[in-house]
């Protein structure tokens, strides 16, 4: 069975601070995808990133960066110089790759509520 754990329920920061959202996962699949989604107050889940399990290169996109460490089953997300518009619920998720037992099924963590104060 797959499991995603986001230990931080809520995080509150002041604008321009850096913030890291933690994600730890469990899976029996040897290959899988990891995702981060953002859910603003409007409710629609917005895709941020997908990472293949065989690609452990860290990725940076503007103020966002992701640190994938297969050895510790972690896929952490850092926002640099946070802004008020970053306030949202952030979900880490896991799914199998075609042919795997969990193909097509996204397993989400509980989410981390991020509040950025001006």
Partner 1 sequence: EAGVVQSPRYKIIEKKQPVAFWCNPISGHNTLYWYLQNLGQGPELLIRYENEEAVDDSQLPKDRFSAERLKGVDSTLKIQPAELGDSAVYLCASSLEDRGKQYFGPGTRLTVT
Residue nearer to partner 1 on the CB measure, 14 or 47: 47
Indicate the residue among 11 and 17 with the shorter CB distance to partner 1.
11
Cβ 100 to partner 1, closest distance in Å? 10
Residues that bind partner 1 (CB under 8 A): 4, 33, 35, 37, 42-47, 50, 91, 93, 95, 97-98, 104-106, 108-111
Instruction: Compute the distance between CA of residue 92 and CA of residue 94 in angstroms, rounded to an integer.
Output: 7
Q: Compute the least distance from the CB of residue 114 to partner 1, in Å.
A: 14
* Nearest residue to 55 via CA among 63, 46, 66, 44: 66
The whole-angstrom separation of Cα 6 and Cα 4 is 7
């Amino acid at each position: 069975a797959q499991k995603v754990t986001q230990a931080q329920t809520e995080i509150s920061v002041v604008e321009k601070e850096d913030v890291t959202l933690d994600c730890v996962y469990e899976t029996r699949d040897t290959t899988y995808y990891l995702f981060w989604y953002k859910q603003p107050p409007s409710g629609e889940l917005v895709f941020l990133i997908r990472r293949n399990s065989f690609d452990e290169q860290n990725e940076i996109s503007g103020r966002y960066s992701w640190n994938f460490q297969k050895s510790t089953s972690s896929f952490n997300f850092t926002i640099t110089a946070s802004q008020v518009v970053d306030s949202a619920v952030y979900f880490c998720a896991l799914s199998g790759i075609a042919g795997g037992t969990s193909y097509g099924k996204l397993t989400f963590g509980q989410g981390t509520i991020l509040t950025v104060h001006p």
